[in-house]
């Protein structure tokens, strides 16, 4: 609508928005404060706003004992991490395909994450974090590779079967998670897949598909048909045309959709809780800290909550545009 | 695209989706007719419909059903209206603040739901900021009681989900028919009239679709309620998902829990079927 120019009205607009933003941000602010306090400070009768921050909670959460001999392996890990950052930031400057450089970077990061416990004596929380990384990566890779081809097919095919599949997907998307989690508990017990990464990744991928194909279909529909037509004239088969010609032009949409399937996998509590015993991911691990009777739990819970949120904040900062596009483009977040 | 190629391309996704989602539904129906605990998980005992009978006569089930409905009736309208108002206000911001505000508003929606609930709850716990304000204003400590927990859950759901309709409406506002608005203005229509006669009708499809999605999502909300109630039925703030989780995973009556899940699936059909019909019509029009 038309821009409101009147000064007094604009002040009200800003004020209303400010109140809402404070409402949104207050829990984050407070938990972050609590996570840097000692237990005593956190339970102070009058809330403390100014205090000497302590890293004690984070240390207790992530590390069992501080490393004394941070030798050769430690240096390798640090240099691997630095190399990862360089590769990711300057990916476009190298004389290699950007995707290739980025995947080397990701491999280095994975290497660092897996080798870290050999160098530093990490606490259990680190294992939960690794589980989260494994499950999320598995779900995103499988879900996007089968989902984007299907989304493309749905966008290009005009028969009634396409609409029927889309409608079935929407119906699946609306079903309560409980209706899958419980039967999969029994299926897992019967097949011996209970408490494996495999079953969690498979179930989450399936639960992700409806929304992935909806979103990918919407994004591919915006890409003109002429692109792959000219590719087929050049002698490429349909799959090769898709991979080499269509996918590169569809990157923004793929990133948006990938982000949401990443968030869905990273967020999942119920399915992971029901289907695993030892391979808990971060959300399941964090729930342990709630409702504990020991007072130390509160500051630990705060540190755990902040730790699990940092990756999300990085994602918002880097991909805000894609997130908004995904929310509105697919419009069926699951 | 040819039919054969279409099936070839979409098969991996469709097979994964349909088999991995239809099989458990079938298993759920099967288990709901049996007596199953963790002990006899591989040798269920057939008991017919008695699980359903047990649920439908369980006052806790009806309690959960009532609270599920209360959430829908209170939370969804507030989320839609608040989201719409804030989208209108945000649309008025044209400076760099727009991006900053949008990022902050998105936070509750993209944070891990369990973590978001935990953070929200910490404000009200001993040593929490809002608990302190509450004590300062009402001169008594904030207590977690059945009523206060239920109110907290609803406020938390508003905090958590409102960013979604907000962003959708905000994007919708960017596509408003400017020429119509200008014409209305020339004719002397007030801002309010423009809103009622042009903006809202234009956003109607979005409003309808978002409401349906919110209704289905609020109905199957789980994480928020689990953290807020600490899995404790004492607060009488369970919804249907929480009820079936507790019956299944804590009381170990898997048959009964599956029966509850089947009943909730039947319940969601009430909203789902009209929604599917609308979507089907829209899709057919687009083809």
Whether the per-residue pLDDT at B287 is higher than 70: the answer is no
Please spell the DSSP secondary structure of A196-263, one letter per residue.
-HHHHHHHHHHHHHHHHHHHHHHHHHTS-THHHHHHHHTT--HHHHIIIIIHHHTHHHHHHHHHHHHH
In angstroms, what separates the C-alpha of A24 from chain B's closest C-alpha? Answer: 6
- pLDDT value for A294: 61
Whether the per-residue pLDDT at B138 is higher than 80: the answer is yes
Q: Which of A16, A315, A324 sits opposite B167 (nearest CB)?
A: A324
Residues B241, B243, B245, CA angle at the centre, nearest 5°? 70
Q: Half-sphere exposure of A329 toward its Cβ, with a 13 Å CA cutoff?
A: 24
Structure tokens at A331: 């419009």
Q: Which of A176, A203, A266 sits opposite B268 (nearest CB)?
A: A176
In angstroms, what separates the C-alpha of B202 from chain A's closest C-alpha? Answer: 12
Test A24 with B163 for CB contact under 8 angstroms.
Answer: yes
Test B129 with A26 for CB contact under 8 angstroms.
Answer: yes
Whether the per-residue pLDDT at A5 is higher than 50: the answer is yes
Residue with tokens 């207790």, as numbered in its chain: A60
Q: For A120-129, what is the mean pLDDT? A: 87
Whether the per-residue pLDDT at B282 is higher than 50: the answer is yes
C-alpha closest to that of B155 among B111, B115, B124 = B124
Whether the per-residue pLDDT at B222 is higher than 90: the answer is yes
- B103 and A CB contact within 8 Å: yes
CATH architecture of A124-329: Orthogonal Bundle (1.10)
- pLDDT value for B169: 92
- What are the sequence ranges of the domains in chain A? 68-119, 124-329
Q: Half-sphere exposure of A176 toward its Cβ, with a 13 Å CA cutoff?
A: 33
Whether the per-residue pLDDT at A38 is higher than 50: the answer is yes
Q: Which residue has the higher pLDDT, B147 or A88?
A: B147
- pLDDT value for B219: 92
**pLDDT classification of A3: cutoffs 50, 70, 90:** confident
First to last CA, chain B: 13
Residues of chain B by 3-state class (helix, strand, coil), percent to 5: 80, 0, 20
Test A291 with B122 for CB contact under 8 angstroms.
Answer: no
Whether the per-residue pLDDT at B5 is higher than 50: the answer is yes
Q: For A20-38, what is the mean pLDDT? A: 94
pLDDT digits 0-9 by tens, B42-100: 788 888 899 999 999 999 999 999 999 999 999 999 999 999 999 999 999 888 888 88
Q: For A73-90, what is the mean pLDDT? A: 80
CB contact set of B156 (below 8 Å; sequence gap of 6+): B116, B117, B120, B121, B224, B228
Q: Across chain B, how many H-helices and E-strands are there?
A: 14, 2
Name beta bridge partners: A121: A65
- Residue A95: count of CB within 10 angstroms of its CB: 5
- pLDDT value for A296: 67
- A103 and B CB contact within 8 Å: no
Structure tokens at B272: 């789902």
**pLDDT classification of B153: cutoffs 50, 70, 90:** very high
- pLDDT value for B65: 95
Measured between beta carbons, which residues in chain B are less than 8 angstroms from residue A324? 102, 106, 167, 171
pLDDT digits 0-9 by tens, A297-330: 888 889 999 999 998 888 878 888 888 777 776 5
Mean pLDDT computed over every residue of chain A: 85
- pLDDT value for A331: 47
Q: What is the ipTM of this complex?
A: 0.91
Whether the per-residue pLDDT at A333 is higher than 60: the answer is no
- pLDDT value for A67: 63
Q: Is A281 helix (H, G, I), strand (E, B) or coil?
A: coil
Whether the per-residue pLDDT at B194 is higher than 60: the answer is yes
Q: For B144-166, what is the mean pLDDT? A: 95
- pLDDT value for A292: 57
Q: For B195-217, what is the mean pLDDT? A: 90
**pLDDT classification of A66: cutoffs 50, 70, 90:** low
Whether the per-residue pLDDT at B276 is higher than 70: the answer is yes
Q: For A253-261, what is the mean pLDDT? A: 89
Q: Which of B155-164, B170-179, B202-211 has the highest mean pLDDT?
A: B155-164
Question: Beta-strand (E) ranges in chain B?
Answer: 34-35, 45-46
- B243 and A CB contact within 8 Å: no
Measured between beta carbons, which residues in chain B are less than 8 angstroms from residue A175? 21, 25, 220, 265, 268
pLDDT digits 0-9 by tens, A214-244: 889 988 988 888 888 887 777 888 888 888 8
Q: Look up residue A175 and give its DSSP letter.
A: S
**pLDDT classification of A69: cutoffs 50, 70, 90:** low
Measured between beta carbons, which residues in chain B are less than 8 angstroms from residue A238? 5, 9
- A316 and B CB contact within 8 Å: yes
| Cα dihedral sign, B208-B212-B218-B223 | negative
Structure tokens at B282: 């829209």
Domains of chain B, earliest start first = 63-286 (1.10.3720.10)
Test B126 with A43 for CB contact under 8 angstroms.
Answer: yes
Whether the per-residue pLDDT at A288 is higher than 90: the answer is no
């Amino acid at each position: 609508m038309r821009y409101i120019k009147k000064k007094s009205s604009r002040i009200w607009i800003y004020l209303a928005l400010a109140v809402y933003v404070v409402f949104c941000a207050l829990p984050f602010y407070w938990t972050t404060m609590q996570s840097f306090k000692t237990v005593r400070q956190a339970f102070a009768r009058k809330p403390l706003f100014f205090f000497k921050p302590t890293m004690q909670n984070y240390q207790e959460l992530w590390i069992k004992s501080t490393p004394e001999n941070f030798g050769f392996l430690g240096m390798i890990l640090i240099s691997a991490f630095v190399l990862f950052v360089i590769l990711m930031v300057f990916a476009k400057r190298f004389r290699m395909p950007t995707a290739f450089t980025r995947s080397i970077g990701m491999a280095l990061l994975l290497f660092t994450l897996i080798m870290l416990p050999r160098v530093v004596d990490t606490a259990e929380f680190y294992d939960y974090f690794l589980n989260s990384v494994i499950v999320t990566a598995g779900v995103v890779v499988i879900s996007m590779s089968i989902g984007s081809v299907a989304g493309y097919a749905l966008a290009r095919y005009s028969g009634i079967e396409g609409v029927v599949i889309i409608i079935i997907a929407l119906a699946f998307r609306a079903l309560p998670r409980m209706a899958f989690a419980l039967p999969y508990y029994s299926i897992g017990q019967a097949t011996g897949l209970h408490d494996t990464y495999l079953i969690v990744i498979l179930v989450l991928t399936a639960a992700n598909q409806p929304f992935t194909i909806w979103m990918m279909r919407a994004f591919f529909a915006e890409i003109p048909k002429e692109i792959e037509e000219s590719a087929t004239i050049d002698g490429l088969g349909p799959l090769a045309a898709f991979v080499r010609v269509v996918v590169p032009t569809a990157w923004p949409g793929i990133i948006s959709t990938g982000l949401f399937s990443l968030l869905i996998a990273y967020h999942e509590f119920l399915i992971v809780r029901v289907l695993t015993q030892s391979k808990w991911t971060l959300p399941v691990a964090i729930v342990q800290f709630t409702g504990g009777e020991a007072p130390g739990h509160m500051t630990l819970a705060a540190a755990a909550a902040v730790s699990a949120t940092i990756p999300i904040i990085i994602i918002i900062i880097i991909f805000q545009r894609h997130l908004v596009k995904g929310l509105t483009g697919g419009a069926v977040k699951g | 695209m040819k039919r054969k190629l279409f099936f070839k391309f979409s098969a991996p996704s469709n097979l994964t989706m349909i088999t991995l989602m239809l099989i458990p539904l079938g298993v759920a129906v099967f288990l709901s007719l049996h007596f199953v605990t963790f002990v006899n998980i591989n040798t269920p005992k057939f008991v017919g419909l008695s699980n359903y009978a047990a649920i439908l006569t369980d006052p806790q089930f009806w309690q959960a059903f009532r609270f599920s409905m209360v959430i829908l009736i209170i939370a969804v309208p507030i989320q839609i209206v608040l989201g719409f108002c804030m989208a209108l206000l945000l649309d008025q911001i044209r400076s760099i603040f727009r991006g900053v505000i949008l990022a902050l508003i998105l936070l509750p929606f993209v944070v891990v739901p369990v973590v978001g609930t935990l953070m929200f709850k910490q404000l009200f716990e001993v040593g929490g900021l809002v608990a302190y304000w509450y004590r300062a204003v009402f001169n008594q400590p904030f207590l977690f009681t059945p009523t206060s927990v239920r109110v907290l859950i609803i406020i938390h759901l508003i905090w958590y989900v409102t960013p979604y309709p907000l962003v959708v409406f905000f994007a919708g506002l960017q596509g408003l028919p400017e020429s119509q608005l200008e014409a209305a203005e020339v004719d002397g229509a007030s801002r309010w009239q423009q809103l009622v006669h042009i903006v809202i009708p234009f956003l109607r499809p979005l409003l309808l679709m978002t409401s349906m999605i919110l209704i289905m999502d609020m109905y199957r909300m789980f994480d928020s309620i689990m953290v807020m109630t600490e899995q404790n039925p004492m607060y009488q703030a369970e919804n249907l998902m929480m009820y079936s989780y507790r019956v299944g995973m804590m009381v170990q009556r898997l048959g009964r829990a599956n029966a509850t899940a089947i009943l909730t699936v039947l319940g969601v059909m009430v909203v789902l079927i009209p929604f599917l019909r609308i979507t089907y019509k829209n899709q057919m029009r687009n083809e």
